[in-house]
Amino acid sequence: MCELLGMSANVPTDICFSFSGLMKRGGETGPHRDGWGITFYEGKGSRTFKDPEPSCRSKIAQLLEQYPIKSCAVIGHIRQANRGGVNLQNTHPFERELWGRNWTFAHNGQLTDYRALEVGAFMPVGNTDSELAFCYLLGQMKDRFAKAPRNPVTLARFLAKHADVLRQKGVFNMLLTDGTLMFAYCTSKLHWLTRKAPFGKAHLVDSDWEIDFSQETTPTDVVTVIATEPLTKDEPWNKMDTGEWLMLKDGVPVS
């Protein structure tokens, strides 16, 4: 299995604190030694850092823990391989362009009987169930909508319907973003919380790092973080149910 990290915010926000906790699980406090990746959006543009090496000893991960890239949407992933070899083409997140936007996807879980999924216009480069599921979802989106639906909930319901199809094939926890919207779907394990004023302190589960968000934010900031397992000890994480989805925009759920 793998672990997921997502962030949606109403102002460009750095994710060094949460990222640091996740990276520790990549071979140090957790068993996810088979690569890691993280995508940051800045406006419509995005950049992905990825490495098939364990994150706990990656020089690139070390740089990013100290290098505050400010972003309104982030997807991160650490991998414990089950389908597909440990190499760069199988390292999440995966990216494709649709409707003139960069879409980024990461998956936690394992599918069976997935090779027959229709991928349409998007072909996998590697050989994971995850990238195939991503191509399936994007292919369905492209076939159904000539351009992005105006209402994010329309897209969320459409994605949830197809995620329900994928859930029939195994465990399918996932994150998908175009830098504006952030869609999360849970079949087994996914948690989220929204940080907003009044901000308090939080302490990472995986290291001694404690942060006082009131020192790092302005009163109008709103940030939602999604993670496979809660990253902090002292905050009220919401556990998602099987088949539950969450669509975020500007740091808050839309429904």
* Total length of the chain: 255
- Closest to a second copy by CB, 47 vs 157, is 47
Residues at the site binding a second copy, with contacts judged by CB under 8 A:
42-52, 59-60, 63, 67, 87-91, 95-97, 99-102, 121-126
Compute CA distances 184 → 29, 159, 209, 225, 241, whole Å. 25, 10, 27, 11, 12
SS3 214: helix
- Closest to a second copy by CB, 142 vs 249, is 142
Let me know if 123 is exposed, middle or buried by CB neighbors in 10 A (0-12, 13-18, 19+).
exposed
Question: Nearest-CA neighbor of 94 among 61, 138, 59, 58?
Answer: 138
Other C-beta atoms within 10 Å of 98: how many? 18
CA 149 to CA 177: how far, in whole Å?
14
Position 212, amino acid: D
Closest distance of CB 98 from a second copy, Å:
8
- Closest to a second copy by CB, 99 vs 237, is 99
- Closest to a second copy by CB, 99 vs 209, is 99
Closest distance of CB 102 from a second copy, Å:
6
Closest distance of CB 255 from a second copy, Å:
28
2 a catalytic residue:
yes
Closest distance of CB 110 from a second copy, Å:
21
Q: Find the catalytic residue in 2, 72, 135, 186.
A: 2
Q: Which residues are catalytic?
A: 2
